Amino acid sequence: MKALHFGAGNIGRGFIGKLLADAQVELTFADVSPALLDALNSRKGYDVHVVGEQATVEPVSNVSAVNSAGQDAINLIAQVDLVTTAVGPTVLEKIAGNVAKGLVLRHQQGNDSPLNIIACENMVRGTSQFKQHVFNALPEDEKVWVEAHVGFVDSAVDRIVPPAAAGTTDPLEVTVETFSEWIVDKTQFKGPLPDIKGMELTDNLMAFVERKLFTLNTGHAITAYLGQQAGHATIRDAILDPQVRAVVKGAMEESGAVLIKRYGFDADKHAAYIQKILSRFENPYLHDDVERVGRQPLRKLSAGDRLIKPLLGTEEYQLPHANLVVGIAAAMRYRSEQDPQAQELVALLSKLGPKATLAQISGLPIDGEVVAQAVSVYEKMH
């Protein structure tokens, strides 16, 4: 099997690319970073540092890389069996044009073998959203062929992979936690289902996507935002702060109560899932900055994402949400010099004030109770 993976970053190298290479898939990365492309092409591999109770170094070999914006990537889309992405939600639209060109070429070359595309991003049904971008870029008369031959397969991806430690000069350096979970929607594949170790197939993807995004990512984001407020630099330091931990755990439980109602999860197993996540946040072997985990606060405060969507669920089922509201207020206080969305948030707050800013970003009603509660917490937070 041949695969093209967009995004040779942390998840690309440390999780999805590694898993494909381990399964003997002939793997090419597509990226835009010259440093990554050069290093991958000259060394053809890299080491993955898996850290936990027992640290291991797992080599990845026989990989190569192409520029995702160039003709090589288009040519590969015409040939491979699998395309995966881990580029970040905002980049999917940017790569859609070249993916569409590759699909047109594939058709022109008479390659009717099934191709499956899987976006591995922190998004609800990210591949379906990517499909829309690809279809927007496709000529009208190619759409029927693409529908018939290309599977757009949604997935949930879970492994904490922070950027390489400060001071590392190797662009391929990557350190990952032991835990990993990649769950894909088996109902969306074209052709035979792949048999790749570490890729789990399900016909109930939404339950897994929401369980992951609205537990791990909800808790992680609130740890980051409250941690930054309390002056902690890392997720570990933040989650070991009892005041932060109480809110994070409370918010995951509030979100969990919605998931239990919606998907019928077993309450005890869900409580154990939350405990496991808290211990992953504490991982002493990972250095994960609160600034990274809180990145792109406008995305994280949007209606379908990890803070607002669980809160809307609590309203739907009339469940408590005091801790989620504290997390939302803390997100409004997130600051980062590196992050354009953090700058935009500051600009919005100073132009519109907190109430209108939150309503605009989240889609929550400006005169509703939740906005009033969040703004009241926000104002007490400095």
Scored b (16 or more CB within 10 A) or e, 63-87 reads bebbebeeebbbbbbbbbbbbbbbb
Q: In angstroms, rounded to a whole number, what is the distance separating the alpha carbons of residues 211 and 83?
A: 25
Among residues 63, 103, 64, the alpha carbon closest in space to that of 83 is found at 103
Enumerate residues 133-152 that contact ligand NAI by CB under 6 A. Answer: none
| 374 alpha carbon, distance to own chain's centre | 25
Q: DSSP assignment, residue 269? A: H
- The answer to whether residue 291 forms part of the interface with ligand NAI (CB under 6 A) is no
Q: How many residues bind ligand F6P (CB under 6 A)?
A: 9
Residues 6+ apart with CB under 8 A from 10: 161, 162, 163, 174
Per partner kind, with CB cut-offs from 5 to 8 A, the member of ligand F6P, ligand NAI, none near residue 124 is none
- The answer to whether residue 377 forms part of the interface with ligand NAI (CB under 6 A) is no
Q: In angstroms, rounded to a whole number, what is the distance separating the alpha carbons of residues 305 and 340?
A: 18
Q: Which residues are annotated as a binding site for NAD(+)?
A: 3-14
Report in angstroms how near the CB of residue 217 gets to ligand F6P at its nearest.
4
Q: Which residues are annotated as a binding site?
A: 3-14
- The answer to whether residue 305 forms part of the interface with ligand NAI (CB under 6 A) is no
- The answer to whether residue 220 forms part of the interface with ligand F6P (CB under 6 A) is yes
- The answer to whether residue 293 forms part of the interface with ligand F6P (CB under 6 A) is yes
Residue span 132-171 as binding mask against ligand F6P, x where in contact by CB under 6 A, dash where not: --------------------------x-x-----------
CB-wise, 10 or 362, nearer to ligand NAI?
Answer: 10
CB-wise, 76 or 130, nearer to ligand F6P?
Answer: 130
Query: Are the C-beta atoms of residues 119 and 127 closer than 8 Å to each other?
Result: yes
Maximum distance among all alpha carbons in the chain?
A: 63
Per the listing, tokens 């496991």 go with: 276
Enumerate residues 27-86 that contact ligand NAI by CB under 6 A. Answer: 30-33, 36, 68, 86
Residues 6+ apart with CB under 8 A from 361: 298, 301, 302, 345, 348
Query: Are the C-beta atoms of residues 4 and 80 closer than 8 Å to each other?
Result: yes
- The answer to whether residue 129 forms part of the interface with ligand NAI (CB under 6 A) is no
Enumerate residues 177-216 that contact ligand F6P by CB under 6 A. Answer: 216
Residues 6+ apart with CB under 8 A from 176: 14, 15, 48, 49, 50, 51, 159, 160, 161
Pick the binder of ligand NAI from 4, 95, 164, 326 (CB under 6 A).
95
* Both tokens assigned to 156: 């949930």
Report in angstroms how near the CB of residue 114 gets to ligand F6P at its nearest.
29
CA contacts within 13 A on the Cβ side of 225: 33
CB-wise, 9 or 297, nearer to ligand NAI?
Answer: 9
Query: Are the C-beta atoms of residues 290 and 234 closer than 8 Å to each other?
Result: yes
Q: DSSP assignment, residue 91? A: G
Report in angstroms how near the CB of residue 120 gets to ligand F6P at its nearest.
10
* Both tokens assigned to 114: 């099934």
Stretch near ligand F6P under the rule CB under 6 A, chosen from 19-27, 78-86, 293-301, 344-352:
293-301
Pick the binder of ligand NAI from 23, 51, 78, 91 (CB under 6 A).
91
Position closest to ligand NAI via CB: 9
- The answer to whether residue 228 forms part of the interface with ligand F6P (CB under 6 A) is no
Report in angstroms how near the CB of residue 375 gets to ligand NAI at its nearest.
28
Tell me which residues touch ligand NAI (CB under 6 A): 6-12, 30-33, 36, 68, 86-89, 91, 94-95, 120-122, 157, 159-161
Tell me which residues touch ligand F6P (CB under 6 A): 122, 158, 160, 216-217, 220, 293, 295-296
